[in-house]
Structure 1
Amino acid sequence: MKAGPNNSRRKMREIVFSAIYQFDFNEDMESSSDYLEQELSFFSMEMEMKLRTRKYFDTILKNRNEIDEIIRKHLTNWTFERLASTDKNVLRLGAYEIIYEPDIPIEVTLNESIDIAKKYGSEQGGKFVNGVLDKIARECASTEKKHL
């Protein structure tokens, strides 16, 4: 089944989320990359979207410590270590998109992150993710991105 562009972007984010979630548990790049490729093989996506999925995955893991530090700085009354793995990885994906993807509007990142957090976590997770990513966007997003 071929997805439309918005569904493809959502599916891309969900695949990246699940692959970095997997890496969070096993910290094995090879098996997480294999998992990503397996997930990509299940869906009909344009090659550009598959390449973007791999780029997101690789860049998030390459910059994981920096992204985690940004998330830590924006947590209020919570520690990074106490975060549910679902919320932690949705935050990683959202923070990555806010900081490293200049063509994605902040509102799109927030909405997609909230939806993924609700789908794979809880209603409260969506609210929590929204609050943290909103703080990250206000402080870390480029001026150009804030005006998309």
Structure 2
Amino acid sequence: MREAIFKALFQWDFNKDENLEDISKEHISVLDDSLQELAKKYVRGIRENILKIDEIISKYLKNWTLDRLSVTDRNILRLGTFELLYIDDIPIEVTLDEMIELGKAYGTENSGKFVNGVLDKIAKEEAPKEKFEI
């Protein structure tokens, strides 16, 4: 499911004039029905909170700006940040592991480490404290 959402975000990053929900339909249509509903929740949440998500990511980038990141890294960070901040029932470690794997699969040699570093800082400083108690 995360991979489908990532692909939609990636495509949307090149077509900001298009609606993210419309772009995502093609990517999430291949998922099981229950995962489609969850994916739609993620897409809607990311779209509604994109400015806040981008602001938080930017706060934890050292010597980088969001627009200088690769499209891959930027959108993995968006997905991971959304999950850390807005999805309560997924442990932080699961989110970090999943985003690292996306980075390794779709990014550069260093994407996994980079994504882990940024998301780890976001998790420690921004994630709801109850996520640490799961």
Q: TM-score, normalised by structure 2?
A: 0.94
Pairing 1:133–2:122 present: no
Instruction: Name the residue aligned to 2:91.
Output: 105
The alpha-carbon deviation at position 58 of structure 1 amounts to 1.2
Distance 1:75 1:127 in 2: 13
Instruction: Name the residue aligned to 1:37.
Output: 25
- For 1:12-91, list aligned pairs within 5 A: 12-30=1-19, 32-41=20-29, 43-45=30-32, 47-91=33-77
**Letter of the 1:141 counterpart:** A
Structure 1 contact 117–129 (Cα < 8 Å) conserved? yes
Structure 1 regions of 5+ residues with no counterpart? 1-11
Distance 1:44 1:65 in 2: 27
Number of residue-to-residue matches in the alignment: 134
Identity of aligned residues (%): 50
Over alpha carbons, which structure has the higher Rg? 1
The alpha-carbon deviation at position 91 of structure 1 amounts to 0.1
Instruction: Name the residue aligned to 1:8.
Output: none
Shift of the 53–44 alpha-carbon distance from structure 1 to 2, 3 Å rule, reads closer
Structure 2 regions of 5+ residues with no counterpart? none
Distance 1:44 1:124 in 2: 29
Q: TM-score, normalised by structure 1?
A: 0.85
